[in-house]
Chain A
Amino acid sequence: MESLGQFEQIVLTAILALDDNAYGVTIHAKVEELSHPKKVARGAVYATLDRMEDKALISSWLSEPTRERGGRSRRHYRLEKSGEKALKESARTAQRLIETITRSLGGLAWKPR
């Protein structure tokens, strides 16, 4: 199965959270929100989306053109089955990490922010 990098995990999570409204602008906004306080270049999001599309983790299509975009279409994204699987696996790994760190740093005294 495809293992994901940290940024890929964030982008996939953003697409998952946005559901039907996942396209460049909204994905970038969500990624910035998830990576707070780090700033993220929109171009990096596009490059990651392209890479994950090539790996068949996500798929994309064009919407109807709209006036608020100067008569251009939105490129919408959606998670594919393999993307969902890879994201679940990453979440499980993250969960194990959190549990280990919490145990090592003194139980309930430490919580991830």
Chain B
Amino acid sequence: MEAALSGPPEWLERMVLFAIPPAAREGVAGDLWETYQNPGQYAVEALQTVPFVVWSQIRRNLNLPALILQSALIFLCFGGPVTLMALPLLMLREAYRPVTRPSPRRAIREAILLSCGAMVLLLLIMSVHSPFHVRAGVDSFTWLSLFLAALFLSPFLCLFRAGLIMQGDRRMPLAADNLSKDALAGAYQTFLKTAFCRNVLEGTALAFAAIAGFFFTWNVLLIGLFVLAAVYLLLDTIPRVASAGDFVSLRAQYQRELLRQEQLRRALRWLWFAPVLVTLQARLAITATDAQDMVIALLNGVAAAILCFLVAALNREFGGRVQEQIGVLDRMRES
């Protein structure tokens, strides 16, 4: 009988795996396993290695436009101190981005948790601040509407997440383990063409949205962001033709471009939702001008959390698809 290869204790390995960002987990955890001597050495080695890996993943995944937009939205809803506290968390979240799409069970659980949280919070505000309604200018009808909206939010969010996942399951390109160089070049070329057309279309849409923003009296900063994004997309130097090289070079180019386009889309999704959130914040501030700060902050928080959930869900789903595709390419062999 073959002797079992010695490795770290399961609990220790689990802790180390948890600490290593998913994108680097396979290679780094395997290297640590290969050089395992005893639990102490393994733990020390992991402690010395993981901070570098986390920092490297933060640098690799840092999406500055998206981070600025997210920070601006948090600042708008919760103010400066919360934004300062949230920044490192947002950056760490980027480092620990999953390399797969969320499972349907997890996606639906998150949707239910969010809508239940919104309902509980509204019930709490209603029960604590019942004599405060009239004074605050927020009548019972508004409270009831908000509560019902939160109640119906659950099936809506579940359907939204389930729909995204089903759509993703239907279209996962490059599922093969082996591919010829020509087939890979063809797939890369198709991707480049699609990305170019998409960037031109989205750039034009952003430019129109910026013009519309003038009529809807959007914030000047917001219009500026839309214009900047439109110009960037329309002038983006995406390669039109896949450059020559062997299978490995071609695959590396494909992976880099996939990642770059995904980073771009991630920032743009936040940008598209920003006007909705800004308008919502402005409306809430107008309808409850006399209300106590805490109530407004809570209501704003609920609305912002739901919107951010939608954007994050889109980003996780589409980002997960790209990460899965990069993973498939990583393991692909030339046939």
Contact = CB atoms under 8 A, between A and B. Distances in A.
B45 A23 contact: no
Contacts of A1: none
Interface string B159-193: 00000000000000000000000000000000000
A14 to B, nearest CB: 14
A73 B256 CA distance: 21
Nearest to B35: A25
Contacts of A25: 31, 34-35
A43 B48 contact: yes
A42 B31 CA distance: 10
A24 B330 CA distance: 16
Contact of A42 (B13, B45, B330): B45
Given A47-B56, A59-B251, A61-B330, A24 B51 contact: no
Given A69-B34, A73-B27, A61 B331 contact: yes
Nearest to A74: B30
Contacts, number: 98
A34 interface: no
B53 A46 contact: yes
A51 interface: yes
B60 interface: yes
Contacts of A60: 252, 330
A23 B52 contact: no
A112 interface: no
B139 interface: no
Considering the complex of A and B, which 6 residue pairs feature the smallest CB-CB distances, nearest first?
A43-B52, A72-B30, A75-B27, A59-B252, A24-B31, A69-B30
A50 interface: yes
Interface in A71-96: 72-75, 78, 80-81
With most chain B CB atoms within 10 A of its CB, the pick from A24, A53, A54, A69 is: A69
B170 to A, nearest CB: 26
Given A24-B27, A43-B53, A74-B30, A80 B48 contact: no
Interface string A34-71: 00000001111011001101101001111000111110
A50 B56 CA distance: 7
Interface string B38-50: 0000000100111
B221 interface: no
A44 B52 CA distance: 6
A47 B51 CA distance: 10
Nearest to A49: B56
With most chain B CB atoms within 10 A of its CB, the pick from A25, A56, A78 is: A25
A42 B33 contact: no
Contacts of A28: 31
Given A43-B48, A81-B249, A70 B56 contact: no
Nearest to A44: B52
A21 B55 CA distance: 26
B327 to A, nearest CB: 8
Given A46-B49, A46-B53, A72 B331 contact: no
B51 A43 contact: yes
A69 B331 CA distance: 17
Contacts of A72: 26-27, 29-30, 33
Contacts of A24: 27-28, 30-31
A66 B30 CA distance: 9
Given A47-B56, A81-B249, A23 B51 contact: no
Contacts of B34: 25, 68-69
B148 interface: no
Contact of A41 (B13, B52, B256): B52
B205 interface: no
A1 B104 CA distance: 46
Contacts of B294: none
5 contacts: A46-B53, A62-B26, A66-B30, A70-B33, A80-B249
